[in-house]
Amino acid sequence: MELAIGTQVKQFRIKQGMTVADLAREARLSPGMLSKVENGMTSPSLATLNSLSKALNVPVTSLFRLYEEISQATFVPAGEGLDIERQGTRAGHHYKLLGHSSSQQPAVEPYIVTLTEKSDVFPLFQHPGIEFIHMLEGEVVYRHANNIYRLKPGDSLYFDSEAPHGPEELISLPIRFLTVIVGRHGIKDD
């Protein structure tokens, strides 16, 4: 945030044709302090921000504009995504992570999961949070705790992911589904 505020102050100062000395004098700051603010090396107090906004003749909220515009976004072109190794990978499951933000709370991880191999043994997963599955292709019998669901394209399943869950039977291959895992402290396989 300090860097965004400093960048905004500097942009306003330059746009108005002011030198560091000019703005420092108008805002009643030392040139050294103004330099630290502009370079994001200090967290300015509200009084300092108010002084700068008055000296620049801009609303104090405009000094936060760049910070508000800085947000994380992930664009993944069709058919791409980051291949992820998870517990199910050993059983012929292929995971493509479609987006992730380490600063976001709760942690949200969207995946496209592809099942291409028949297997007699399927791993059961358990992890903190909730999970949403939306079937895109194929057909699978999916277990959640003691319940069984037959999922076909267009079907969705939303559940508490702390209960054991995972594919029980692969009916029609290939199977592809979108899964979104939401957890409070990051996602872990057990």
Residues contacting residue 39 through CB under 8 Å, at least 6 positions apart:
6
Both 95 and 65 in a single domain? no
| Cα 105 from Cα 31, distance rounded (Å) | 39
The answer to whether position 75 is within a domain reads: no
Domain boundary among 13, 41, 69: 69
Residues 54, 141, single domain; the answer is: no
Number of domains within the chain:
2
Residues 99 and 65 in one domain: no
- Which helix (H) or strand (E) is 173 found in, with range? strand 165-183
Count of alpha carbons within 13 Å of 25, Cβ hemisphere only?
Answer: 5
Is 189 part of a structural domain of the chain?
A: no
Q: What is the pLDDT of residues 108-134, one digit of tens each?
A: 788 888 888 776 656 788 888 889 999
pLDDT in the model for residue 117: 78
DSSP assigned state of 125: B
49 located within any domain:
yes
At which of 43, 69, 95 does a domain end? Answer: 69
Residue 190 domain-assigned (yes or no): no
The answer to whether residues 107 and 152 belong to one domain is yes
Q: Which domain holds residue 113?
A: 82-183
Residues 90 and 130 in one domain: yes
Residue 72, classed as helix, strand or coil, is: coil
The Cβ of residue 6 has, within 10 Å, a number of other Cβ atoms equal to 22
- The answer to whether the pTM exceeds 0.75 is no
Contact of 146 with 121, CB cutoff 8 Å: no
127-178 pLDDT per residue, tens: 888 899 999 999 999 999 999 999 999 999 999 988 999 998 999 999 999 9
Same domain as 178, residue 141: yes
Length of the chain: 190
- In this structure, are 178 and 109 located in the same domain? yes
Among residues 93, 81, 91, 79, the alpha carbon closest in space to that of 138 is found at 93
Task: Note whether 9 and 60 are same-domain residues.
Answer: yes
Question: In this structure, are 104 and 64 located in the same domain?
Answer: no
Q: What is the pLDDT of residues 66-86, one digit of tens each?
A: 765 555 666 666 777 767 665
Nearest in space to 138 (alpha carbons), one of 176, 180, 91? 176
Contact at 8 Å (CB) between 74 and 98? Answer: yes
75 phi/psi in degrees, rounded to 5: -105, 125
